[in-house]
Amino acid sequence: MNSIFSGIADQIVKRPGTLSKIILVLMVISLIGMTLVSMETGNSTYMDVNSPEGILTEHYTDTFQKETVILLVESDDSTSPVLLQYLDSLEKPLSNLQYVSSVSSIVDVIKPLHDGTLPTSSGEMKEILALVPDNVLSIYVPSGMLNMATITLEPGLTDKQKEDALLNLQKFIDSTSPPPGITVTLTGSAAFQQEMKEEMGKSMGTLILAALVLMVLVMGLLFGYVNHRFLPVLIVASGLVFTFGFIGLSGIKISMAVISAFPVMIGLGIDYAIQFHSRLEEEARDHPLSEAIHTTITKTGPAVMYAMLATCMGFLAMFISPVPMMQGFGLVSIIGVVTCYLTSLIGIPLIAMLIQYKAKGHGASRQSVLIDSGLSAIAVWIAKRPVQVLLVVLLVAFIGIQVDARIEVNTNENSFVPPDMPAKSTLDKVSRTIGSTDSAPVVIRGSDVLSLDSVRWMKEFTDLEVNTKSKITRGASIADYLITYNGGVLPETQSELNAISAKIPESIKKTYVNGNNEAVIQFYTVKLTTTTKSDLKNDIEGDLRLYPPPPGIKADVTGSFALFVNLMNDISDNKDVITLTGFILVVLFLGLVYRNINALTPIVPIAAVVGWNAVAMYVLGIDYNVMTACLGSMTIGVACQYTILMMERYIEEREITDNVQEAIKNSARKIGSAIMVSGFATFFGFSALILSTFPIISTFGLTTIIAVLFSLIGAIAVMPAILSFVDKVIHGVHDFEEGVLHIHPQK
Evaluate whether 627 touches 257 at the Cβ level (below 8 Å). Answer: yes
Evaluate whether 682 touches 271 at the Cβ level (below 8 Å). Answer: yes
> What is the sign, positive or negative, of the torsion defined by CA atoms of 40, 41, 43, 45?
positive
Q: What is the pLDDT of residue 194?
A: 67
Q: What is the dihedral of CA 252, 257, 259, 264, to 10 degrees?
A: -110
The residues, ordered by sequence, that sit 6+ positions from 719 with a Cβ below 8 Å of its Cβ are 601, 602, 605, 643, 646, 647, 650
Q: How confident is residue 102, by pLDDT bands cut at 50, 70 and 90?
A: confident
The residues, ordered by sequence, that sit 6+ positions from 419 with a Cβ below 8 Å of its Cβ are 425, 695
Q: How confident is residue 707, by pLDDT bands cut at 50, 70 and 90?
A: confident
Q: Give the mean model confidence (pLDDT) for residues 396-424.
A: 74
Q: Which long-range contacts (CB under 8 A, 24 or more apart) does 295-298 make?
A: 296/9, 296/348, 296/349, 297/5, 297/6, 297/8, 297/9, 297/12, 297/345, 297/349, 298/2, 298/5, 298/6, 298/9
Name beta bridge partners: 58.
Answer: none
Is the pLDDT score of 412 beyond 70?
no
C-alpha to C-alpha distances, 167 to 154, 164, 174, 391, 478, nearest whole angstrom: 15, 5, 11, 62, 32
Q: What is the pLDDT of residue 14?
A: 92
Q: What pLDDT, in 10s, does the model give residues 161-213?
A: 887 888 898 899 989 888 898 988 887 666 666 666 666 666 667 777 777 78
Q: What is the pLDDT of residue 702?
A: 86
Q: What is the dihedral of CA 234, 236, 237, 243, to 10 degrees?
A: 150
Rg of the chain taking only CA atoms, in angstroms? 32
Q: What is the pLDDT of residue 684?
A: 77
pTM for the full predicted model: 0.69
- Top-confidence range, 48-52, 60-64, 321-325, 653-657: 653-657
Q: What pLDDT, in 10s, does the model give residues 42-56?
A: 666 666 666 777 677
> What is the sign, positive or negative, of the torsion defined by CA atoms of 221, 223, 227, 230?
negative
Q: Where would I find the beta strands (DSSP E) of 415-484?
A: 439-446, 472-476
Q: What is the pLDDT of residue 715?
A: 84
Q: How confident is residue 364, by pLDDT bands cut at 50, 70 and 90?
A: very low
CB atoms within 10 A of CB 656: 10
Domain boundaries of the chain, sorted by first residue: 2-40+223-413+566-736, 67-194, 448-551
Q: What pLDDT, in 10s, does the model give residues 284-299?
A: 988 899 999 999 999 8
Q: Give the mean model confidence (pLDDT) for residues 241-263.
A: 79
CB atoms within 10 A of CB 605: 31
Q: Give the mean model confidence (pLDDT) for residues 265-290.
A: 86
Name beta bridge partners: 524.
Answer: 439, 474
CATH for 67-194 (1.10.10, 2.60.40, 3.30.70, 1.10.3470): 3.30.70
Q: What pLDDT, in 10s, does the model give residues 123-164?
A: 888 888 888 888 788 888 888 888 888 888 887 677 678 878
Coil vs helix vs strand at 511: helix
CATH topology of domain 2-40+223-413+566-736: Multidrug efflux transporter AcrB transmembrane fold (1.20.1640)
Q: How confident is residue 607, by pLDDT bands cut at 50, 70 and 90?
A: confident
